[in-house]
Amino acid sequence: MPRIFVARMLPGELSPGSPLDRLAKVAQLDIWPSQIPPTSSELKESIKTADAIVTTIAEQINRDVLEDATRLKIVSQLGVGYDNIDVLACSERGIFVTNTPDVVTDATADLTWSLLLSSARKVFEANSAIRESKWGAWHPSWMLGSAVADKTLGIIGPGKIGTAVAERAAGFRMNVFYHGNKEKKNFPGKHLSLDSLLEQSDFVSMHIPLNESTQYYCDSDFFSKMKKSAIFINTGRGGLVDQADMISALKNQTIAGAGIDVMEPEPLPANHPLLDLKNCTITPHIGSATLETRLAMSNLVADSIIAAIEGTVPPNLVNP
């Protein structure tokens, strides 16, 4: 019987009709028991006899890990991004690589707006003030944030998530700009050069994939071109940002604030300097973290693995 290594317990667990229940009907499941991801050596050992793997962003699928996985047919990533997977190494071994696009769009766009609004209105700082007993008498100049309505939103990366973020801006009467490799038809905003977008936007939101050409895309030069009153939002990947440069920009008030769901490393250590910044709102990589979205993602993973085990080309293939 085929064997599937599942790197983390999926939503619904093994309840009837759940994604894992669907997989259990076609293969033997080996589910990693811990909340902590397997080490490289543990992962390598676990997939030696696996026909399929369910991975998350935390598992690094590289040449060394794949070395002894002679039966492996498919690596199915629970997520849109797959920068943790050496796709070329998989392709050379005839291993399918799949992801879970589309179903994360709304949840990630919603979180982007949660971070934007929280950063603009100092929700994190205000909540901390209550919890730390710093809520005094009402004062007209206390906890002054920034308005969102009628401001300018700049989106870098006009893909599906970037588009969904732009669509939500209509309710705030925002002026929307975007930057991408080329103009995109029907995008609800105006295409600008990167410099023009940074110079004019009150909020800048990142939605490009992480690869060799985009690593540390947001550096000191990037932040220096933003308005001093602007807020930076990142729900893409931590590697898009030179974190030291972002911390410096926030400390020196080169920009007014940031809202980030992704960072390096993940999770952040308890003494990380980002955690000392009051003008930085941080969430722990929860862009797709709704029950509905994670179940939909898990079902896409099940669809792909079942197809591969049954000998057909899986959907959502990233290395055709």
Query: What φ, ψ does residue 204 adopt, rounded to 5°?
Result: -120, 120
Burial class (CB within 10 angstroms; exposed 0-12, middle 13-18, buried 19+) of 271: exposed
Q: What are the 10-residue block averages of pLDDT along the chain, 320 residues in total?
A: 96 95 97 95 97 96 97 97 96 98 97 98 94 94 96 97 98 98 94 98 97 96 98 97 98 98 95 95 97 97 98 96
Among all chains, which residue has been given the structure tokens 């895309």? 217
Q: Are strands 280-282 and 203-206 parallel, antiparallel or unpaired?
A: unpaired
Amino acid 126: pLDDT = 94
What is the predicted pLDDT for the residue at 217?
98
Label residues 130-143 b or e (16+ Cβ within 10 Å = b).
eeeeeeeeeeeeee
| Cα 81 from Cα 94, distance rounded (Å) | 20
Whole-number pLDDT of residue 84: 95
pTM of the full predicted structure? Answer: 0.92
The pLDDT value recorded for residue 114 is 98
Q: How far is CA 103 from CA 32, 84, 163, in A?
A: 25, 20, 14
DSSP code at position 313: P
Helix (H) or strand (E) holding 260: strand 257-260
- Dist CA 273 CA 195 (whole Å): 28
pLDDT of residue 300: 98
Domains and CATH numbers, the chain: 3-103+290-309 (3.40.50.720), 105-282 (3.40.50.720)
| Cα(176)–Cα(155) distance, integer angstroms | 8
- State the Cα–Cα distance between residues 121 and 170, nearest whole angstrom: 19
* Residues catalogued as catalytic: 237, 266, 285
Here the tokens at position 144 are 């002054």
Tell me which DSSP letter residue 204 carries: E
